[in-house]
Structure 1
Amino acid sequence: MSDDRDRWNERYRRDAFDPADDPIPELERRIATLPDGRALDVATGTGRNALFLAEQGYDVDAVDISEAGLERARDRAADRGVDVDWIRADLAEFDPGRERYDVITVSFFAALEHLPDLKEALAPGGVLVSEHHLRSSDPVAGPSTDRYRYRSNDLLRACLDLTILSYEERRRPVGGSGGDETGDGAVAVATLVARRSSGGTQSYPVEGTRD
């Protein structure tokens, strides 16, 4: 994955590259309902979700392949007066452990192949918050190729062994002029919130896309 590492390092070192500061909207909206404790932010970039979680009192681990992105994240953490354990690692080689985290966030990283390990890393009652680009026939911000976008319901189907608290496919305004959400206008996203639980009967939202 050295090509990915080099590509992201080059991108983060460009002065014109301006990643979003705010957390993804669903994380900010749901924060009061999430369990307290320890959090993992996957593909943290410059730390938009990790910094927000740390400000809410979580003990946060944040992993990314790019040391250049993590350098920016450390600077942001110092400016905001919070502590985060920044981990430089390729997710393919990173072991998140078992039942270790109360909250795991994944935003704008195609993580389907890594979800089994991430779900195992959730503590009982732990919550996964994930958002990623969707394929769209309309002009939207984000990756220029469908290779790095989810198909409709990919994320939902990958998490049906969790209790689905919410799932939505929609277009929303771009959250920043660069970073995880690149471009102007709107971004097409799939957003999922799901809890690791056992026993009982689970129900799921109706599949589909809502503008």
Structure 2
Amino acid sequence: MRTIDDVMALLDGLFAPEADRWTAQAGDWWDGFYADRTREVPFFVAKPDENLAGYLERGLISPGRALDVGCGPGRNALFLARNGFQVDAVDISATAIRWAAERAEGLDVRFRHGDAFTTEGSYDLVYDSGCFHHLPPHRRIGYLALLDRVLRPGGHFALTCFTADEGTATPDAELYRQSGLSGGVGYSPDDLRWIFQDLTEVELRRMKEESPDSRAFGKSFLWTALFRK
């Protein structure tokens, strides 16, 4: 090994075959995940996250340039576009991007199939609903580098991720020993505050459980967090 990329590739290999969900080859795994649109997957609904809708209603965020990291079928990206944001939305699944583009109905969202962590630009909001908890510990380094690179001073980073109720609470070192994430990493509020300590916490709480007839998506097994740079 001679480079950081070599180290990352070595660590990626410790998570095979689960690495198929987030390495450069992850598109195939997620294409299969999104292939059947009729499956009863909670976040397949065409609704925004309740916390995201709430941030806008309460004036915690305001329209500007937004990046949706791991946008899936685009439900949050489209909500932002409908509310005055200029949106770039990226996902590693071409199937998800096609679905999102079909839902766009002429809205000004620039959907891109690819690796969100190579994104360049300057954004007032970076939003992540369900990507971060699928990353192994060493890939948090690139995630933080993305935020540092693209988030404008005064801009906001908003996140939904697994609590320990839904994801594994296994310590980082043990994840490498067991060679897997058990479907996703579950975090505590203190974990999130430590990881994103270079940002200022605005709000961190459990997501509100929303009823099927609600205009927003909400599941109580998720944390919602809003930070400011």
Normalised by the length of structure 2, the TM-score is 0.69
Matching of residues 132-147 of structure 1 within 5 Å: 132-136=161-165, 146=182
| Ranges of 4+ aligned residues in structure 1 off by more than 4 Å | none
Cross-structure match for 2:223: 190
Output the amino acid matched with 1:88. H
The one-letter code of the counterpart of 2:115 is D
Tell me the TM-score normalised to structure 1 length. 0.74
Q: Is the 8 A contact 1:20 1:175 kept in 2?
A: no
Residue 40 of structure 1 contacts residue 103 of structure 1 at CA under 8 Å; is this kept in 2? Answer: yes
Q: Which is further off, 156-165 or 114-123?
A: 114-123
Deviation at 1:135, TM superposition (A): 1.7
Give the distance between the partners of 2:191 and 2:53, measured in 1 at CA: 23
Q: Tell me what 1:29 maps to.
A: 54
Secondary structure at the aligned position of 1:148 is classed as: coil
* Alpha-carbon distance in structure 1 between the residues aligned to 2:126 and 2:46: 18
Alignment of 1:87-126 (within 5 A): 87-92=112-117, 94-97=118-121, 100-110=122-132, 112-113=140-141, 114-126=143-155
Report the equivalent of 2:156: 127
Matched-pair contact (CA < 8 Å) for 1:70–1:86: yes
Question: Quick one: distance in 2 between partners of 1:6 and 1:117?
Answer: 24
1:148 aligns with 2:184: yes
Distance, in Å, in 2 between the alignment partners of 1:175 and 1:149 is 25
Q: Which runs of 5+ in 1 are unaligned?
A: 139-144, 197-211
Render the CA deviation track for 1:58-111: whole Å, top value 9, x for unaligned.
110000000100111001002xx312001111234x2334xx000110011126
Which structure features the higher share of helix residues?
Answer: 2
The reply to whether residue 41 of structure 1 matches residue 63 of structure 2 is no
**Higher strand proportion, which one?**
1
* Distance apart, 1:175 and its partner CA: 7.9
* Correspondence 1:70-89 to 2 at 5 A: 70-78=97-105, 81-89=106-114
Identity %: 31
State the distance in 2 between where 1:33 and 1:109 align: 22
User: For the aligned residues, what is the CA RMSD?
Assistant: 2.7
> Partner of 2:204 in structure 1?
167
Count residues with an aligned counterpart.
Answer: 178
CA distance in 2, matches of 1:66, 1:137: 23
CA distance in 1, matches of 2:220, 2:113: 28
* Pair 20,106 (structure 1): closer, same or farther in 2 beyond 3 Å: same
Task: Answer whether contact 1:46 1:70 (CA < 8 A) is retained.
Answer: yes
